[in-house]
Structure 1
């Protein structure tokens, strides 16, 4: 028998008094990209939640999208949900192994299923990325109504793949394949759809809603007028923007003062660029900012709808990102495909038919002050902004430094709904812990100093314990060597403590080994390289026609 653990004290609720829930997930959003986390990009919708909610300065997710989504919706480690690795980068020895199905498996129960079974109406709009099988459609994983993009991403203006390993893009409304309207823009349409679902909602029941934007995943695309409003801002260059963000982060109490940033590979000096190159790079970041701004405008619309319909005050709202900022420049990996399917000229960048991302140096700005990016187990890959808003019960305008992990979201929702005893005992037990004590101000911590939390994907690994983090990264993010950091005083992970604190280092290595056994991890081979494996898997796709999602 499995039992729900670590949920804390549930909130006692009668059925008609239970809160609604709205989880808003951004895609590839950097830690410092929203105003309440230091950004120059105005995000008043998201920031209004921070102003009257709880901001988590030390919240972590997995370093890539689908594993995070699987943990978010189950409270279970990704090696047990079926996303031990993403199919597109799956190591040869992992294919076919339990926990490496490449999609959500049947051993875990989704949060939406639990809520649905206990009287909640459940709605989803946006990116799913948890499996293409009929059994894994959101409608069959606990959502009453859903409109979803099934793949990892897509063009934001039209039904069009953005990578060569997808033959087409699949959208589903409930159990049926769906087409897009002529006037489509992803953030607008996903928000409109959720508002439509809420407009049909039976007000005698509480609701659980999940809005999963594809903003700001590449291709970065946004309305022209919004892009143009940001161009002057980014002509200052990335050094100025990063410095300003860091100063604001310190002022907001989110990160320590006097941190020395790491010099990373691939970063460019703004002064080394020609005027034309500077103009192009500034426009790339302007498109990114506009895409984020449009997402925030839609969040504002949704919040206004909830207020106008007397649902806002009784809705717990959570906002987060699925991983760190993405440094990939896909046009360099698949130049022929991008050139044949998109244009990338400066004048029309971000508009329909265009392709752009913003590269490693702007991604480094997005993750200020942390090091590295999505895919790595550095803080730059795993630390996400998290805002939890429910002034009716929780603290208002507070920032917490308590460590928390994405597996904590499911038990927190269940605790707030009074459903901690409502899980299916035949499924894998929830592994996360409720944030309720921190959210209400009754506790300063979620995890005790001796409680480890493990992570691994594609060989890159981490183990968090108290203020410390054990970490290694496989190429291209690192040299496979284990290192130890105090991420409270050194969140940029500059000072390796493995030699100066050997006992702690050895103890945490042992903790990691126990974590490996607990989640039935299948380790990648020592010669594993994520880019080389990607190319190998794409060759497999071309040979047998298997789509890699």
Structure 2
């Protein structure tokens, strides 16, 4: 067995590892007895404080019930963006290790949205080989097709650019709404499983597109929130923060608004299409015109409606689990792929300013004002690696296996931990791929019984021009407040490279007090460590396994 950088995996090698994986997984599964089912639910662009159980005013009774009957994590991280988080969730590796996000120095094709190495298998592949039935509903956003990467059934519920999915002629199915369709596919898969595969455990990956832009919602859902946000984002942030404190969250202070920080990418011509009610900065609410206030409040109402509908659809899926007597032995995990988004653009079929807000003919984005409120109490948004971009709600619920109910977990964990946790709880032994890096993620099993020390000595972040490293309670962050599109990676030695901020998250989770000037040696040591890990990930991403021995 040997390793070749950027080599091709031969057919013999692939067969060897598949046989090895199948044998090891089946052996481990046979020893595990009755195995749990899994339902992993991921939202898209959901803010940390959007669910009611995380301080939000949006009606999320199904998520709230899962939290009340299980665990809520308060320091669980994602990768700041949709496709990197999904690849990390599915494989247990940082996306940069497996060519699914960029980093400084990565060769062409080994970053961004590249093809994973053969050793970066998905949870579905491991579980499928161990006798699980595997299902995927909703967004994929990983290289390859789901059915070619470990899933028996898949439906991305996508017919066009929006949630009503109009075609180029403006025609649409009046009964189609993407969030409903995604949940219905999950329900159909579960019904089929109950009828035809009741003797097998299942793994279901339910990936909603909501509440990602465009802001499209059903009229009856919007109606429930009309007028709710007329007092603005400043007041909403304070209300959510006070609610978090009352719930018992240890999240430190509330971050200050950053009125000079707008969307991560500047599309002024597209923003102009949205009309005089649009604003691309989180200015103090009382500085907005009445027209702008009405427009912004309506956008937040649509965002809330999308979250509300997602929760209702999650409820339908949970009802199906109850109907097939699988609810108690199904481990449900819920998270978001990144923080709420400050992005503002017009895509798809464009935007008709005369159409009803939230309807198929519109293309609205939440923007940085209410995105800041959605990410309460943290700073920044999706794409940034400040806490607002990388902190996700994370709920774990398992009646048959969890004694803990309505408990918090403050240990630091990351989306890379989901894959090893699922394999651990399923009793599936991941075989070694000699020479390939071990999974970066760690099993969360120790934290399911009681809160404890963090699973990781350090957590590394990199997305576009943004980078960070967390070691214990210390975190360094490097980013620009605004950057041109396309972005530019900052290399070591660049004059801007010294622009690291340092925060102690134990008492400053909101990243308000930069301690870089007070502890320059710590900044130096942590920034050097960031590059050491980057160098290791460059090696990992270029590693392919070639089997030269005969099977």
User: TM (normalized to structure 2)?
Assistant: 0.81
For residue 519 of structure 1, give the secondary structure of its aligned residue in structure 2.
helix
Asked whether the 8 Å contact 1:114–1:422 carries over to 2, the reply is no
Q: Which residue of 2 aligns with 1:325?
A: 340
1:34-433 correspondence to structure 2 within 5 Å: 34-85=51-102, 94=106, 96-131=108-143, 136-148=144-156, 154-159=161-166, 183-201=175-193, 202-256=197-251, 258-265=253-260, 266-331=281-346, 341-345=350-354, 348-394=356-402, 395-422=404-431, 428-433=437-442
Q: Which residue of 1 aligns with 2:6?
A: none
Asked whether the 8 Å contact 2:255–2:511 carries over to 1, the reply is no
Q: State how far apart, in whole Å, the 1-side matches of 2:59 and 2:218 are.
A: 16
For residue 533 of structure 2, give the secondary structure of its aligned residue in structure 1.
helix
Asked whether the 8 Å contact 1:259–1:490 carries over to 2, the reply is no
Deviation at 1:458, TM superposition (A): 1.4
Q: State how far apart, in whole Å, the 1-side matches of 2:447 and 2:367 are.
A: 36
Aligned-residue RMSD, C-alpha: 2.9
For residue 286 of structure 1, give the secondary structure of its aligned residue in structure 2.
helix
Deviation at 1:224, TM superposition (A): 0.7
Q: Which residue of 2 aligns with 1:531?
A: none
Q: State how far apart, in whole Å, the 2-side matches of 1:519 and 1:319 are.
A: 28
For residue 392 of structure 2, give the secondary structure of its aligned residue in structure 1.
strand
- Which structure's CA Rg is the greater one? 2
Asked whether the 8 Å contact 1:94–1:100 carries over to 2, the reply is no
Counterpart pick for 2:40 among 23, 40, 46: 23
Q: Which residue of 2 aligns with 1:530?
A: none
Q: State how far apart, in whole Å, the 1-side matches of 2:119 and 2:228 are.
A: 49
For residue 320 of structure 2, give the secondary structure of its aligned residue in structure 1.
helix
Q: Which moved more, 1:117-126 or 1:251-260?
A: 251-260
Q: State how far apart, in whole Å, the 2-side matches of 1:66 and 1:52 are.
A: 30
Q: Which residue of 1 aligns with 2:536?
A: 518
Deviation at 1:112, TM superposition (A): 0.7
Residue 464 (str. 1) matches residue 470 (str. 2): yes
Residues 1:278 and 1:100: Cα distance change in structure 2 (over 3 Å): closer
For residue 291 of structure 2, give the secondary structure of its aligned residue in structure 1.
helix
Q: State how far apart, in whole Å, the 1-side matches of 2:215 and 2:459 are.
A: 33
For residue 360 of structure 2, give the secondary structure of its aligned residue in structure 1.
coil
Q: What CA deviation, in whole Å up to 9, does each residue of 1:196-234 have, x standing for no partner?
A: 111111010000000100001000111111101101211
Deviation at 1:454, TM superposition (A): 1.1
Q: Which moved more, 1:498-507 or 1:225-234?
A: 498-507
Q: State how far apart, in whole Å, the 1-side matches of 2:340 and 2:116 are.
A: 24
For residue 387 of structure 1, give the secondary structure of its aligned residue in structure 2.
strand
Q: Which residue of 2 aligns with 1:165?
A: none
Deviation at 1:35, TM superposition (A): 0.1
For residue 455 of structure 1, give the secondary structure of its aligned residue in structure 2.
strand
Q: What CA deviation, in whole Å up to 9, does each residue of 1:119-143 have, x standing for no partner?
A: 1000001011113xxxx10000000
For residue 143 of structure 1, give the secondary structure of its aligned residue in structure 2.
coil
Deviation at 1:97, TM superposition (A): 4.1
Task: Mark the runs of 5 or more structure 2 residues left unpaired by the alignment.
Answer: 4-19, 22-27, 261-280, 484-489, 491-495, 542-551
Q: State how far apart, in whole Å, the 2-side matches of 1:371 and 1:260 are.
A: 6
Residues 1:106 and 1:183: Cα distance change in structure 2 (over 3 Å): farther
Asked whether the 8 Å contact 1:350–1:356 carries over to 2, the reply is yes
Asked whether the 8 Å contact 2:417–2:442 carries over to 1, the reply is yes
Q: Which residue of 2 aligns with 1:533?
A: none
Q: What CA deviation, in whole Å up to 9, does each residue of 1:298-344 have, x standing for no partner?
A: 0011111111110100000000000011001114xxxxx67x63323
Q: Which residue of 1 aligns with 2:269?
A: none
Instruction: Count the aligned residue pairs.
Output: 481
Deviation at 1:258, TM superposition (A): 4.5
Deviation at 1:386, TM superposition (A): 0.4
Q: State how far apart, in whole Å, the 1-side matches of 2:337 and 2:427 are.
A: 26
Residues 1:100 and 1:356: Cα distance change in structure 2 (over 3 Å): closer
Asked whether the 8 Å contact 1:226–1:290 carries over to 2, the reply is yes
Q: What CA deviation, in whole Å up to 9, does each residue of 1:50-103 have, x standing for no partner?
A: 001110001110011100100000001111222123xxxx99x75624345534
1:444-459 correspondence to structure 2 within 5 Å: 444-447=452-455, 451-459=457-465
User: TM (normalized to structure 1)?
Assistant: 0.82
